[in-house]
Amino acid sequence: MTQSAIRTHYLQVLKDLIAIPSVSAKHENLDEAANFITHIFESLGAEVIHDNSFYAPFHYR
The predicted pLDDT at position 55 comes to 65
* Alpha carbon distance 54, 10 (integer Å): 29
Per the CB < 8 A criterion, the answer to whether 51 and 25 are in contact is no
pLDDT tens, 5-61?
999 999 999 999 999 988 767 778 888 888 898 899 999 999 888 777 776 666 666
Higher pLDDT, 26 or 2: 2
Residue 33 C-alpha from the chain's centroid: 5
- 34-43 own/partner pairs: CB under 8 Å, 24+ apart: 34/58, 34/59, 40/13
